[in-house]
Every structure is written in structure tokens, then in C-alpha cells.
Structure 1
């Protein structure tokens, strides 16, 4: 039976549709992370790729998803419909998954990652805008935190399954990649058959050209301050592939490298929902500042403690910073953007973040090859400090904005 994901009144709790969409995200993340946890090692140890190549592939993959989000988000605003765009994105990702075990060269893997991330881009902004549409203003932080927690459960279940399957198959990468196909198609079935989108409210203003200059201005100054801070912050958040490579660098066996993502995502999942709840009750920007400080700490630990215990501590800090920042940034976008432009708002938010992610991953790979892992993580700490300074400078402009009524 399809879940009714229409708006609920404040005080009734998180809408059931947020749970459904969270489980969809969880299943797709199980699939993606089973592959992602092993892909950097597979590229380097099996296909002979360089660290710069890993950085470029990961950066292009995430930037592709982010660039696509602006178009799918704007299209969802123009159509006034979000579910089927999200379902299309999940479907594209599901049908791309079999390419990973079949790919004979790096070029095929680059193409597969590219198409897979196009699917992520198509689904991302409409799904997040849908969550923003149905969550009461005083529960947006909790709603996005819950969705982020469920999504992140998938992100550590996936690597756990990858570890078990690598042990069971004696490090057979391709067999593990085949198993990753199953949850991807389960996610597609869930969003198609278990989600029903409510009708667009008649009172909501129609948007003819969501990415026109007029509508871009209508997004408002507070929204653009959120985007600016988030983009600088993303420069400090290069791909988690470098956490895996750092663990291998200090002696973790290849079969156990997915444990890095497991540990990070367990912490992430545990922190995201409470952080969202707290942000509904106090300042979102205060919680966000704490998250940025944790990223600075994570980078410093990973740079100066070249041991398994040092990596473990850095990974815990990294997971905490993710939990305290990712859902909150999405909630801030929902707080500051007009309801009829939320798809476009999430699209621009992810576009600029994707450009920053591409730059960050390429820089991280280049620094690793030329100056070692310490330089990579110290540079990340420096970018995070700049983002924190920027947040403190514009804190009043963001904090003084109020969640917009639907």
C-alpha cells in the first residue's frame, strides 16, 4: 500500500513519507557503498590507477551528480511533481550497477560511475524538496536528520556486507559487485510502489522558468549565504576514498579496508538525527559550527598520527562532523528557500557543492602524490578553518532568517 506523503500538522511527529524515502535511500546506499568501499583499492591494486586518477574519478562522479541536480530540481518545480523524477534517478542507478563487475578497463569504470552519479543527481533534489514539502517547519531538522541517519545506515551496512563477501569469496571484487545489484533494484521497487505523491497545493505560485534571473533572485539573500558557506566548507570535504587509502597506507589489510567506511558511517548515522532534533530547538548555525570544528580535528589527527589508532580516531571525528553538518545544511536550504522553488534551491546548493567537491578531490589526490597524505589532510583542515571563519562572519544573516511557511 502506498504511503501518503502529504504534509502533516506541526506536533504530529515526522511524516511517514520521510521514513519511506529514508528506507529507499538506505537500500540504494547499501548497493552503492558495497562498490564504493572497494572501488579505490580495486582501481589502484588491480587496474593500476594512480592516486590522481582516483581523485579525478571520485571528483567527477560527485560533481556529475551535483550538476545534474540543478536540472532535475528545476524541472520538479516547473512540473510541480517530484516523485517520478526521483524514481527515474533510482532506476538509472540500479540499471548501471551491473556494469561494475563487467567493466574490463578504467574507462568502463569511469563511465559506470558517471552514469550512476547522473542517476543520483536526477533523484537528489526532487527527493530532498519533497521531504522539505512534507515536513513541518519546526521538525525540518529532525526530518532531514532522520533521512540522513537512515541513508547512512545503508552506508555502513554496505561496507559490512563487502567485508563479509570479500572474506567469503577470497577477495573476489567482481562477485561482491554483483551482490550490490540486489539492493539497488529493491530501492527502485520501493519508491515506485510504496510512495504516493500528494497533489500540489493550488495556492502555491506556479514557476515557469525556475532558473531564470528573476527566480534566482527570488531565492533570497539568506539562501545564498547558506550556499556560499556550504560551498567553501565542501572544499574541505574531499572524497572518503582518501580515508580508505590512509587506512591502507598505515597497514590495514585490503579485505578490512571497508571497515573504515563502516566506522565512519556508524558514527554519522548515530549523530545525524540527534543533531537535527537539537537544531530544531536551538541555533542550526551553532550546531553547524561545531561540526566544522570536528572536521578540523579529524584532518589534524589523520595528518599527524600515522597509525591504525590515529586513523580510527580521525574516522570517528569525521563521522561526527558529517552527522552535525549534512542534514543541517539541507534543513537550512529548506528554511530559507520559497516552497515553490525548493527543487531549484537544492539543485543550486548541490551544483556549487559539486564543483567544490571536484576541486577538493583533485587537489587531495595531487597533494597525496606529490607531498604525501599529511599534506592532503592538513590542507583539508585549512579549508575547514576558512569555512568556519566565513560561517561566523555571516552567522547573523543566516540565523536571523526564519523558516518560511508553505
Structure 2
């Protein structure tokens, strides 16, 4: 049984790695593809960015629930099929609504895959969970880094001779390998009974729900940051080079932020998070590369701050409560993305980041006053 679980952990880590490689191969160059090839407006960029987060987090509410009753292997298989479908929309799509379908399919894939993978990983003994999940997030970071490097090499050497949509074909390869890996995943069939306690509004910790809605409003999607850097007379290759540095920093920041959370406690940590967002958005206006680097820390701190805080407080119905928080964060990102796109088009490229500084200030004083 121990060997069976070890095999499951290894396969989940391999799946995480391959899916991350494929994702970054596409999504690293997606902002340039949407603007330069499809010709979308920044409002559509905001819709696509925010819609992705909303759909992913909405699906997460249900996917963990489904995994209790249906084969996890089959659910993972379906999730990867959604990802492959998205690639074909990227390859053959001609209009912005084709891209919206492509991004939505990828969002459904992630929304299904992440909670199910986490459920499989969490079947290990509790005292080992930190190490198991730490390794998994590290593997995800390595996969993302390799995917970004592949995109960097493409823009540096092959962009002029190979269209984006031809390049997207190669992102299918890791997904096909993932499909075959799933057949080696073993799972023990169990019959479970559940006691479902009454759910009240208090179980969601509403003041935290509101706080993370506000903080997520300052986190409106990587595309805006990437395109702001790109707009400051950098090429696609130079911009992706900055993104490579960003991916390394955010991986390190994720590790550091966990230690900071344990050392400083919830309130001070969340205050630091809001300050990091404020500084990053302020720098994005005139020094976008520096702002993007600080944003790596802000993003990592928000991730740890949200799930560590809620994880410590929730006593039951964790999947449902976590799913609700995922949906709230995604809904906030959708609204923020649409507003950021509108402000970019109607006022200027600096306007979304001014909005971000305001959201950060509101979050900071809310933490000081109510937490």
C-alpha cells in the first residue's frame, strides 16, 4: 500500500510538471499573440484574464466534491482532455471569441485537476503533508520555468519564421504524455459515509472573504504587467526574459513567504502583503520591470496568506469553504481585469496600476482596523 501511494505521488508530480510546461509554453506568449495576431483590445484581455480565474475557481468548488464519488483517474483524464481541446482552439482560432473558448477550456482543466491532485497527495500521513505539498509546488515551479524558457527560445530564434499557432502544436506533446501516465495511477476503491453538518454564514469567515476580495482586486492578471513592460520599448524576447526572472523569484518568494507567515503571524503578514502590492503597482507606472519583480513577492504572499489563514480557521466542510474562497478570488479578479482593461483603453496604460494602488491602500487600512 505504501509503494502504491508512493507511485501515486510520483505520477501526480510528473503530471503537475508536464501540465505546467505545456501551460507556460502557451500562456507566456499569449498576450503578444492576442494583441499582435488576433488584434484584441485591452478590455478583451481583461475579460480573458479575469474569466480564466473565475471559471477555474468556480469549477474547484465542485471538482473536489466529485472526486469523493467518482474515479480520480477518470476525472484527471477528463481534465487533460479539456486542456488538449483548448490547444486546438488556440491553433485554429481566428477571432477573440475563439480565444475565449480556448482559455475557458484551459480554465476548466485546471479547475478540475488541481483539487483532485491535491486530494490524492493529501492521502499521506498528516505529519508528511508539508513535505509532500512542498515538493509538488516545487515541481510545478520547475515545470513553469522550463515552459517559459521554451517560449523564450521560440521568440528569440523562431518567431519570425514560425507563426504562434504553429508553435502551439508543440504544447500538446506534454499533455499527450500526461494522458498515458494517468493509466499507471492506482487508486483504492472506498465506500465512504458522510456526516454533513449545518452550514452557516459564519463558517465562511465573512470578514476574511471581503478582505481577500479586496486584495485580489489588486491582482488583476499577469498580462497587464507583461504588456506594460512590453510597451516600454522591449521586444517579446526581452519581455519574456524578465518573465523568466519573475518565475524564479516567485518560486523563492513562495518558500520565504511561508516562513514569514509563521514568524510574523496573520495580521502583520497581511499588512506586508498589501504594502507589497502598493509598492509594486506604484513602480509599475514608471519602472515596470522593478514593479513586476516586487509583484512576484506580492503574488506569492497573497497566495500563502489566503490559504494559510483560511486553512487554520476552517474546521469542517473545508472543500466547500475553500471552493467558495477560490470563487470569490476569481470573481474579484474578473471584475478587476475588466476594469483594468477599460481604464487602459480609455485613459492609458498607467491607469490600471493606479487602481491597484488604491485597492492596496483600502486593504491595508481594513486590516489595521478590523483584524
Sort the TM-score into its range (normalised by shorter chain). 0.7 to 0.9
Aligned partners of 2:139 and 2:201: how far apart in 1?
32
Aligned partners of 1:83 and 1:337: how far apart in 2?
28
CA gap of 1:347–1:393, structure 2 versus 1, over 3 A, is same
Match of 1:216 among 169, 191, 199: 199
Structure 1 residue 383: Cα displacement: 1.0
Partner of 1:322: 299
Partner SS, residue 97 of structure 1 = helix
Q: How many residues align?
A: 369
Match of 1:61 among 44, 48, 52: 52
Aligned partners of 2:239 and 2:295: how far apart in 1?
16
Quick check: 1:115 aligned with 2:97? no
Aligned partners of 1:319 and 1:242: how far apart in 2?
14
CA gap of 1:236–1:105, structure 2 versus 1, over 3 A, is same
Partner of 1:336: 313
Match of 2:367 among 391, 395, 405: 391
Partner SS, residue 200 of structure 2 = helix
Aligned partners of 2:260 and 2:14: how far apart in 1?
23
8 Å contact from structure 1 (residues 145, 275) kept in 2: no
Match of 1:380 among 326, 339, 356: 356
Deviations 1:318-377 (A, max 9, x none): 1112222213422333333345x2322222111111111100110111111111122111
Partner SS, residue 257 of structure 1 = helix
Question: Tell me, which stretches of 5 or more residues in structure 1 are unaligned?
Answer: 6-14, 209-213, 396-406
Structure 1 residue 299: Cα displacement: 0.5
CA gap of 1:128–1:378, structure 2 versus 1, over 3 A, is farther
TM-score by length of 1: 0.79
Partner SS, residue 104 of structure 1 = coil
TM-score by length of 2: 0.86
Question: Tell me, which stretches of 5 or more residues in structure 2 are unaligned?
Answer: none
8 Å contact from structure 2 (residues 155, 236) kept in 1: no
Task: Give the alignment of 1:3-402 within 5 angstroms.
Answer: 4-5=4-5, 21-76=12-67, 79=69, 84-131=74-121, 134=124, 136=126, 140=130, 144=133, 146-171=135-160, 172-190=163-181, 192-193=182-183, 195-197=185-187, 206=194, 215-217=198-200, 220-222=203-205, 224-280=206-262, 283-303=265-285, 305=286, 310-338=287-315, 341-395=317-371
Structure 1 residue 166: Cα displacement: 2.6
